[in-house]
């Protein structure tokens, strides 16, 4: 198992790559470029899923560690509130929490972008096929 810092660092690096990939999409009328970009997005989405799982595991271990080391007096203040407990841990490990949150949001963005891109690509292909059939019938 990789150290937690390495996992979080890899996730942050991936997020930078994912943002660049999202902004590098081809024009909607470039069918071949769109198909290649969707393929690249699918590969990145698979990597995102793997890293997101690893980040969640890291964060869960940090939560477990923090709860096992918290002072009794502090534990009494937060132990009956999952919200306070979560906020406590977020405050102790803000970078880990931020990375996990960004991975979750990026997964939602990828899902939306890929669905829309596939729909757009399919629509353009249908339109192109219709145009080709129409041209053949006219000649």
> Is 1's pLDDT higher than 60?
no
Global confidence as pTM: 0.81
Q: What is the pLDDT of residue 47?
A: 97
Hey, where are the domains in the chain? Answer: 4-138
Which whole number is the average pLDDT over 65-90?
90
CA distance 109 to 115: 10
The chain-wide mean pLDDT, for the chain, equals 90
| Cα–chain center distance at 25 | 17
CA distance 41 to 75: 44
Yes or no: say if 83 and 135 are a contact pair by the CB < 8 Å rule.
no
């Amino acid at each position: 198992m990789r150290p937690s810092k390495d996992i979080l660092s890899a996730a942050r690096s991936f997020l930078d790559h994912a943002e660049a990939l999202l902004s590098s999409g081809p024009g909607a009328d470039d069918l071949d470029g769109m198909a290649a970009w969707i393929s690249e997005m699918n590969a990145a989405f698979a990597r995102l899923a793997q890293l997101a799982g690893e980040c969640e595991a890291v964060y869960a271990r940090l939560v477990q560690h923090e709860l096992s080391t918290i002072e009794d007096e502090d534990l009494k203040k937060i132990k009956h509130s999952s919200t306070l407990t979560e906020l406590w841990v977020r405050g102790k490990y803000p970078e880990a929490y931020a990375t996990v949150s960004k991975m979750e949001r990026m997964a939602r963005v990828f899902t939306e972008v890929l669905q829309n891109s596939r729909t757009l690509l399919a629509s353009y292909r249908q339109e192109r096929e219709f145009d080709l059939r129409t041209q053949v019938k006219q000649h």
